Amino acid sequence: MSATVNPPVAFTQDELGWVSWIDPLPEAELTERHYAGLVDRSRAKSEYFRLLVRDPEVLEARTKTDKDIFYNVADGLPRAERELAAAATSRYNGCIYCASVHARFASTYSKRRDDVQRLLDEGVKADLGERWNAVVKASVALAATPIAFGPDNIAELRRAGLDDAEIVDVINGASFFNWANRLMLSLGEPSK
């Protein structure tokens, strides 16, 4: 919609904008039903969320699913590795915007910015050490259609030290980005 879109042509950890291809709801038209869908009122400032809020019930449920999978770190997989699963899935599906956000989070929580950058630069086959390789490989296997995730992925994750609860966090995090990537890639585009 904006005439000034400057789409990135490579994966990056830089902050990107996102521009919708179809009309988001104007902020002035949002009702309490919409704000319930946005969950955080501040999301009314985002073009992406003002587009998705056209179906507020689905957006609310999607947002709460997302938040618990990634932010509930009372137990289970460290946040850095949940973000790694999100970034790897996004790299494999080709979502430059999603990969930028979650690569940044993976870097912040792991302090391994160079390794995260190698995932973006070299792709999902980059050698990031046993544990990260297992998480990336499992995420990629889940993202493939038909789904390629199998007992070998579970065995690899266990050898890398993950217990069943942590493996479920990988499954949830990677699966969720097959949801997120498809919305971000198809309803609009990133802009530098």
Binding site for other proteins (CB under 8 A): 7-11, 21-23, 51-52, 54-55, 57-62, 64-65, 67-69, 72, 74-76, 92-96, 123, 142-147, 149-151, 153-155, 164-165, 167-169, 171-172, 174-176, 178-183, 185-187, 189
Shortest Cβ distance from residue 161 to other proteins (Å)? 16
Which amino acid would we find at residue 133?
Answer: N
Determine the Cα–Cα distance for residues 102 and 55; give it in Å rounded to an integer: 25
Shortest Cβ distance from residue 174 to other proteins (Å)? 7
DSSP per residue over 15-52, as a string?
--EEEESSPPPPGGG--HHHHHHHSSGGGGG-HHHHHH
Whose Cβ is closer to other proteins: residue 10's or residue 28's? 10
Shortest Cβ distance from residue 94 to other proteins (Å)? 3
Whose Cβ is closer to other proteins: residue 84's or residue 95's? 95
Contact 66, 180 (CB under 8 A): yes
Determine the Cα–Cα distance for residues 179 and 104; give it in Å rounded to an integer: 19
- In three-state secondary structure terms, 18 is strand
Whose Cβ is closer to other proteins: residue 33's or residue 41's? 33
Which amino acid would we find at residue 191?
Answer: S
DSSP class of residue 125 equals T
Shortest Cβ distance from residue 111 to other proteins (Å)? 26
Whose Cβ is closer to other proteins: residue 37's or residue 111's? 37
